[in-house]
A and B are shown apart, each in its own frame.
Chain A
């Protein structure tokens, strides 16, 4: 009995129930899997969910994984136009011939039956999910001219007298991110841009950068002591760190101290796990620093040479008496352990205080990163083998874009409560909240959103919804009907990462390389690659928006008078499609050939990876190990004498920021009785909301559970998988409980990225709880980045 479980059949179980009284045109029948009209390209859609790889002819197309930020290199095995398998690519030094579970499950993202398949425009009320399938022409036209339901960009800009800043836009991480920034930021010309940076690791980057000049890489191969605090490399996989680190843990050369409120898989791989009170890492690092200075354990020579304000910092630490005994009640870590770790660290040959790539968890995060960087420097294990690596810069030159100047465009305003606002990507929370509170000096009336799901990623979903509802026009470019897409007026379906070639990208550090993603298959349905969308949208917008400028922009009027309209249009950079005119395939070839020569193009075209001498350097050492660069060719030291460790940064004073890392008691951890501190984090089988509809990953993590201490749960009568409600001051969610001893009695944890409210995603809809709904929209003072671990919640069984 050969029963094929087809995608369609597989879905029927869950889908058939949800189509209730579908009106002529509703989300359910538009978003549902109409695979009979898969239309579009020549590609076919596999009948079964997993497809056994064959032994016959197959193409091996080099791709770069798009399931998370790492961009691991892989080969897509394509048989009969169907991607049957993704295999790791052994040429890319960063991803070291591996693919994580999400990478492997990428096929399911491309063949997700719920994908956005054709352009759609809203015909009902916002949020009720009523859309009409339209052609790309009609969709573009709706963006420019609007419909009877919403206004178009032309009218909005005209009403705003060509103040381009009335358009806001946001963008998710990825290889086509820059293109969208070029189109909307540089060409259309609005400064009002927000992205994942201000809801992710802005202070980590900023803190390290402003202290030692870079966010470093780690040479785990030669390190022998590791403090990994607030980072969970076993579950939040970062390449190459995850791949390197765990080959040496567990008594195999890298003594590992894990500092984390939660017992993570990283803790399970460590020699010691110290649960710390959330948000108190800074006190911990300051106490470590105090021990070092007090016992004179530091590499004085190194600090004398590279430190800036070093002596003052030493005095600062000693005079503040940041002793382990002081830190013990704050951090919940025994003074004895702090002494031991400080001494062991400084006595180790190559100790590492892991920089800890992760989102901003506490308001003091910027200072924490500074203190960490300085503490690492005290060991002198920096810019050398076994330490923090600064390495090479990228291998590719920057690109030049002809950017029009719009005289009437205002500056961005989202600076309230921020010491040093970032001009480029701003602060999501401050931008949103100021508009909601009417503090914006001019109206922001449209949001162009690509590959970004603020409804689930920006803390306080209620506010994000109100913000999006305020807009006259919301445009979403994405691959799935996300919660954000459900508030869009125009939806443009993008090709998934396996269906498109992306701009080449270069990675620096120890073993630099250039990588390229090719398209494994043609775009399915009527989807288009981002660069084609940028080009077409640019083409459609150029003339109408130029007309608006002509009407309102004095400088442009002058220019036209001087040079004539045609020249002004061309030279002024008003042809918005111009950066995208050349197809990405040609562009990539041109860049690579220009920088490295023709042979390099051939190599990267076949292998997806190129770096100088790859043919000579790259070797397979064993079934599992590859050499990318011989050790002698790796640049362990690159800064040399120019390396500066800024212990005291006087320029911070102007923004009211401490010039040296200083503890303030308002950061002490406390939770009112009967409440819990909410902490969030990652599992290895899940990347934020982007993977929530992936059928393969759902087998591994079916939903998000809320971790609650076992004994507390027992007392509250909460058992495994009981449904509970978690309520904070900004919202409430319901999900299943997971009583465990891996978390402290006064904390709860839940995985980010679940709890979608979009009916368009059959698997994700209503599954679990969305943490953004309950996380308060607190910001840290340096850049206005979102603070994730400051919310207290109540929990009850429902």
Chain B
């Protein structure tokens, strides 16, 4: 683990994670004896990004847009339909089992639900040491408990509580246990899927602060998935907006929050309530009509066109690429990408 002491990407550093054209289609099958395939749920459909040491990529998007599926592929819980995931330059989708297992030590996950993601029958010590059982060559058994206690200390829990069970901890404390477990193998990448959504407002800030502290301390790179856009802005260097399995816009936090150029990002940001009542009468809001289409049968051309107020003929025929267009400074998957609308959002 590098000790960078700084947050944010080292500009010259090689990416720790390179994701290219990642696709996950879940086949829809019917029939019990003779399963036949009837199309597929296009949960993730062509996602690419790089992540550098110490950097945080925020991923936002509505329910069903494919965020968790992306996360599961990154940590190897799901195999991609196609595409590549390179960790330190090695494609984990191509390695043999043993090689893949080794690489996966380097990329760990924190889950949303601190209540169900910890086995209630295991002590905190056993939970944190579980990764050492799976990757037996990392640390001799005799040193594991000591390491678990160190990890408890790192995440701000009392090392003496190593023999307690999950139910003896509050939600925020359980999330800290999950973080300690994720850190056990000294990964360089943490995938956080809604790590604070299940926590009370007053506890969320504690966990966010811990994640930022750990990033500084260990130079960790984060993929940070959340639906609270102000939390994502706070922690992220770059942000990608996801819609129906694709990144529709990517940029630095200011590029996205202050200069969103994709209509969906603009609508999403304008829907977020401001945390102050001041100026609420004059606030403009883009209210989207209709529902998100089914990922089993996404619209032709631009996937957002069924809800887009700017849609034209070309949007139903030509799939807009995620690329930088004239008049904008960052990639957006819209034929008519343009500068920011005067709408409110979390500032």
Binding partners A and B? no
Which A residues are within 8 Å of any B CB, using their own CB? Answer: none
